[in-house]
Amino acid sequence: MDRGPDFQESIDHLRRLVVPNKKFEEVELDHVVEELQQVSLITLVPFYSDIRLRFHPLLHAWAYDRQTHEEQRRNKAAALRLLTCVVDNSDGIDIEGELFPHARRFISEMDKFHVNDRAALVELSDPSTVLETQLSIWKEIYETVRAAYGDHDLRTSQALLGLAVLQADIPDFPKMEQLMREVLQVRRSVDGPRTALTAEAMYYLAYAQRLSKGSEESMGLLRTAYDIQVEILGPDHVQTQSTMVSLVDDLMDPWQGQPDYEEACAILEQLMDTQTRLYGPLHPWTLQTVEYLLDCYVDIGDRKKEQLDHLLRLCDENSTIDRAKDAYRELLEVNIRLYGKLSSRTLSIVLTLAKLLQRMNRNTELETLLKQYARNDDELHGEGQHHLVNILVMLGSCLISQSRYAEAQAFISASFRRITERYGKTSIFTVPIRDLLASCHSDQKHYAEAESLHRDNIKCFEEIRPQGSPGQLLSLKGVARCVYEQNRFEESEELWRGVYLGEKVELGQNHPKVCISLCWMIKCMQKRGIYDAAALYVTEAMQIYRALEGRDKGEILEAYWRVAEMLERQKMFNEAEEVFRAHIDRVKEFHGDNGRHYATEEGRLARFLYDRGRYEESKVIRKSQLRRWTELQDRKWEEFITDKLQQIEAALRAATLDRPVAIVSLLVYPEFTLIT
């Protein structure tokens, strides 16, 4: 809104303070900094790629005592101008998160200021501020601006956008979507269809849709917004970067559809170059992008192997991850002193540090860190509560990776309770946590509980996406697997048939997932003893196997060994052996023959040969496995393979004495099996 004459006065005073000679000279600033350093009033602190000023605690008090009442008034007004002028999403700079300590005094006096300053100070306030207070301020701002300019004005749309974004914290996603549609409509009609303001409205509307139910429209809005922002703001602008991150999230989300790693990879490569250049390699944004890009390269496979090796080598040569970890440790200590252990800013740094430790496979260190902050109470509000849920989920995942399922279940259950209390049982936010909790139950053989959770996810998808979704198929797979484990083979067969037909439509006839689902369906038929009925589908599975089209190495390898075991159960032993050997060849092709993958997967062929009475051939493979596990210094696997060799020796002795021996084999590997 328009300002009074005192506004220009404070601007002029600020200008005189910053540029007394009417021109900004870096040399003059350097001289001032040097003088203050000499008397120990400030110190220079390197952080990421920045050099920051750390002021002596008494500096402000000393300066304040030397001012007259009039100087205090004018300097306070100038400081307010300096703080509020940086709250501008269109300036391409994102430093608002650093300004809360400086804005704290003004925030406590917010009611005294102009409506424009109030809007800026809300943005600078601590995210843990009581939601009702923030809502009240934004409603007042919106009504004030609307009364002055009417509904069809860009200033009114800006106030409405601030109110709309806050709806996500209530949460009221339908309301947020409704308000953002109003904002987009006004900006399209007043400002034009391809402007920065219109692109901003598209971004937030897509965000609201993704939170509420997800839709193809949200992806289209993000693509259009990105295209406009690159053209109008440029690829380096902070708004453009935010849209790129959201677009990548959608492209890589398996609950939204088949991930498009190729497009995501192209966006991430550009984003990483931009962020490394602007912020440096240790900035959290850059590190997050590197993590996304590493995942993309792994999922794409051979065509990006050179880029993957280069990026990993770059991280290793620069010790990027280790340096970043040390920087975050220091930053965490500073934030605890400034804001407290449970502030949203502190918890945000905890999560970033935790992701680094997760990437480094430092599970013990990761667990210790997360357990300091994992709690299940109602002290936290706003963004801090969201961070707490993520901490609980990450801690649960860490424990699952160590096969500590009962402990993991407690933390994941706590996060699930909090997320359902906040967003409701049918929110899209509950789906991945419910899926993780179901996995935890399955690992403990609590199949009835896991089945119930997967069915709840299906109901959730039916409510928020009645047109169907890829996520619904993932949940249907979970139900089918749990029903199978409870020996309800006929019911499981029908469920797997639904998964198979759905994936064939979604992914194409020859996708590895289609082959895997068909093998599960056939397995159910074989368990029921209807081998003749299964024969027709066995032929179809072999056709898919011979024409597999996929990029995910893990999916391809699983399709191979599931086809082999299907043929074995069908008593097609020659064909089964051929596929088992082809499976080993693909493992060697994908991962080499010196690592854990090859050492693990060799066991499938060894088990098959043992069950056929070909003990010497099985023994050769088991000895090869034992040698590899000894080299890898894996005691559990050494013991497991040693036990298998003893079984083979017993079988050989029995064969020599020409007497029968009980054939003992494991189609299911022990709990420490590493299968991709």
pLDDT tens for 109-161 read 777 788 888 887 777 776 555 577 778 888 988 999 999 999 999 999 999 99
Lowest average pLDDT, out of 25-29, 318-322, 577-581, goes to 318-322
Q: pLDDT confidence of 379, banded at 50, 70, 90?
A: low
Q: How many CB atoms lie within 10 A of CB 671?
A: 9
Check residue 517 and give its pLDDT: 97
Most confident of 2-11, 90-99, 387-396, 509-518: 509-518
Q: pLDDT confidence of 304, banded at 50, 70, 90?
A: low
Residue 346: alpha-carbon gap to chain centroid: 19
Contact by Cβ (8 Å): 244, 226: yes
Angle at 516 between CA 511 and CA 522, to 5 degrees: 130
Q: How far apart are the first and last CA of the chain?
A: 59
Strands 42-47 and 50-55: antiparallel
Does residue 546 have a pLDDT over 90?
yes
How far apart CA 382 and CA 260 sit, in angstroms, is 33
Does residue 335 have a pLDDT over 80?
no
> Can you tell me whether residue 332 is helix, strand or coil?
helix
The residue among 346 and 602 whose pLDDT is bigger is 602
Q: Specify the residue for token string 């920087």.
A: 327
Q: pTM score, two decimals?
A: 0.70
Instruction: State percent of the chain over pLDDT 70.
Output: 84
Structure tokens at 529: 């003893």
Helix (H) or strand (E) holding 55: strand 50-55
> Can you tell me whether residue 45 is helix, strand or coil?
strand
Q: What are phi and psi of 51, to 5 degrees?
A: -115, 120
How far apart CA 290 and CA 273 sit, in angstroms, is 10
Check residue 122 and give its pLDDT: 77
How far apart CA 412 and CA 169 sit, in angstroms, is 22
How far apart CA 564 and CA 528 sit, in angstroms, is 19
| Average pLDDT over every residue of 530-545 | 95
Least Cα distance to 567 among 581, 554, 553, 556 occurs for 581
Q: pLDDT confidence of 424, banded at 50, 70, 90?
A: confident
CA distances to 98, 285, 288, 292, 360 from 324, in Å: 19, 12, 12, 16, 12
Q: pLDDT confidence of 443, banded at 50, 70, 90?
A: very high
Does residue 46 have a pLDDT over 70?
no
Contact by Cβ (8 Å): 582, 558: no
The residue among 639 and 36 whose pLDDT is bigger is 639
| Average pLDDT over every residue of 522-535 | 96
| Average pLDDT over every residue of 434-458 | 94
Check residue 261 and give its pLDDT: 78
Contact by Cβ (8 Å): 650, 644: no
Residue type, 222: L
Check residue 8 and give its pLDDT: 76
Check residue 264 and give its pLDDT: 87
Check residue 317 and give its pLDDT: 46
The residue among 263 and 42 whose pLDDT is bigger is 263
Does residue 314 have a pLDDT over 80?
no
Check residue 129 and give its pLDDT: 58
Most confident of 38-47, 380-389, 505-514, 657-666: 505-514
> Can you tell me whether residue 413 is helix, strand or coil?
helix
Q: How many CB atoms lie within 10 A of CB 133?
A: 12
Q: Specify the residue for token string 């008034």.
A: 73
Instruction: State percent of the chain over pLDDT 90.
Output: 41
Check residue 128 and give its pLDDT: 55
Averaged confidence pLDDT in the chain:
83
582-598: pLDDT as tens digits = 999 999 998 888 888 99
| Average pLDDT over every residue of 173-201 | 93
Does residue 282 have a pLDDT over 80?
no
Does residue 456 have a pLDDT over 90?
yes
Q: How many CB atoms lie within 10 A of CB 647?
A: 18
The residue among 574 and 301 whose pLDDT is bigger is 574
| Average pLDDT over every residue of 480-500 | 96
Check residue 309 and give its pLDDT: 60
The most distant pair of C-alpha atoms in the chain lies apart, rounded to whole Å, by 108
Which residues, in sequence order, are CB contacts of 45 under 8 Å at separation 6+? 51, 52, 53, 54
What are the start-end ranges of the H helices in 167-255?
173-190, 196-212, 216-232, 238-252
Residue type, 506: E
Does residue 606 have a pLDDT over 50?
yes
205-247: pLDDT as tens digits = 998 888 776 666 788 899 999 999 999 999 999 899 999 999 9
Check residue 308 and give its pLDDT: 56
Task: List for the chain the helix, strand, coil content (%; round to 5).
Answer: 75, 0, 25
Does residue 59 have a pLDDT over 80?
no
Q: How many CB atoms lie within 10 A of CB 372?
A: 10
